[in-house]
Structure 1
């Protein structure tokens, strides 16, 4: 999953970057509101974490402008303001959730994951397709209750496919959502990850968990 973090405190920005990457997120960073608005408008993110007190363009204005441009990315606002009416202002501007500073890392991660699931129409943190089960909290993939060993990027690919079970996902879309903004979109690395996942999920070749739609992309087999 790809996350945009907009925060002007360089120390906190680095902390959030490290935290999210450690939990298999692809992270883009912006340290002011204008740059954050540009990135949010131009790139596909699964969630954005936005501070309220930003230079050049404050967080509330950033969110309002993004929503006016029909940006539908789920947004978690970070605020040092703990008065209830200021939190309401953030939600009224178009944010989906808020977190007051200082915060616990575990709570931020839980809220980010919940926003991603909600946007995908998934309420349960454990997503299943036949014998395949993906635990988005533990970040584990299992088949018939046997946990598989995955690389970080293999997990990201499978998570995105499982969160969008009815959709055919192109290589470009997968690349945009599992890598940061400067990755080479023409790379064949997605094909490599899909091949590895098929071998791990279905070593006998009987399950066929990931379909290839020629010229269109991939999706989880709806007949599992």
Structure 2
């Protein structure tokens, strides 16, 4: 799952980003309201963690603008304990939940899971292509022969490819979607994970292949 983290306290943002990524979330981090709005409207996120007190545009203004534009991405707002009226206003504007600072990291993770789960409702937890089935909850990739559990980055790549079957996905798009806009990873890391996924597809006996288009990107295709 991909999250947008909007928090202007960089030390806190870095800590949250590290914990979320450790729990297999892809995270884009921004530090003011204008960037929060720009990122939220430019990309598709599974959830937004939104601090109310940010420079340039506060969290309530960001939330109001998103909802007025029809953006229904789940939003967890972060507030100070004293901001009771802002909590109520945020919920009235369409926030899905709130968490008061200071908070326990375990509670943050639980609330992120809750708001993203509610947003999917009865959505199907698996996606398929060819002989592959990907479980979006357990990160398990299966054929009728065998099942294997993927790491977070592997899951992010194969989920993107299965969701866009037979479509060319650029290496840059994979980097943005799986590693995040602010990642310092080198772009050739994508090839390393693609290589690992190819071995795992072979391991579970899949006939689906990841095809490379030199200098362009990758395509998921059924074998002829």
TM-score after normalising by structure 2: 0.68
Q: Does 1:170 align with 2:173?
A: no
Of residues 78, 86, 92, the one that matches 1:89 is 92
The gaps in structure 2 that reach 5 residues or longer are: none
Backbone CA RMSD of aligned residues: 4.0
CA contact (8 A) 1:13 1:29 kept: yes
TM superposition shift of 1:22: 0.7
Mean CA deviation greater in 135-144 or 77-86? 77-86
Equivalent-residue separation in structure 2 for 1:24 and 1:147 (angstroms): 19
3-state SS of the aligned residue for 1:148?
strand
Q: Does 1:60 align with 2:60?
A: yes
CA contact (8 A) 1:7 1:30 kept: yes
Residue by residue over 1:2-54, the C-alpha shift from the partner in whole angstroms, topping out at 9 and shown as x without a partner, is 42201245564344212211122232222332342344455664542212333
Residue by residue over 1:63-91, the C-alpha shift from the partner in whole angstroms, topping out at 9 and shown as x without a partner, is 344566x6858241314466785244331
3-state SS of the aligned residue for 2:19?
helix
Report the counterpart of residue 156 of structure 1 in structure 2: 156
CA contact (8 A) 1:52 1:60 kept: yes
3-state SS of the aligned residue for 1:137?
coil
TM superposition shift of 1:175: 1.8
Equivalent-residue separation in structure 2 for 1:112 and 1:143 (angstroms): 30
Report the counterpart of residue 138 of structure 1 in structure 2: 138
Equivalent-residue separation in structure 2 for 1:200 and 1:179 (angstroms): 20
Mean CA deviation greater in 22-31 or 105-114? 105-114
Distance 1:220 1:74, change over 3 A: farther
CA contact (8 A) 2:132 2:141 kept: yes
Residue by residue over 1:153-198, the C-alpha shift from the partner in whole angstroms, topping out at 9 and shown as x without a partner, is 2222123334x25572512322210112245899344344333212
Distance 1:220 1:4, change over 3 A: farther
TM superposition shift of 1:213: 8.0
TM superposition shift of 1:151: 4.1
3-state SS of the aligned residue for 2:156?
helix
3-state SS of the aligned residue for 1:194?
helix
Q: Does 1:218 align with 2:214?
A: no
Equivalent-residue separation in structure 1 for 2:55 and 2:183 (angstroms): 28
The correspondence of residues 183-198 of structure 1 with structure 2, limited to 5 A, is 183=183, 187-198=187-198
TM-score after normalising by structure 1: 0.68
Equivalent-residue separation in structure 2 for 1:139 and 1:112 (angstroms): 19
Mean CA deviation greater in 43-52 or 185-194? 185-194
CA contact (8 A) 1:165 1:220 kept: no
CA contact (8 A) 2:211 2:221 kept: no
The gaps in structure 1 that reach 5 residues or longer are: none
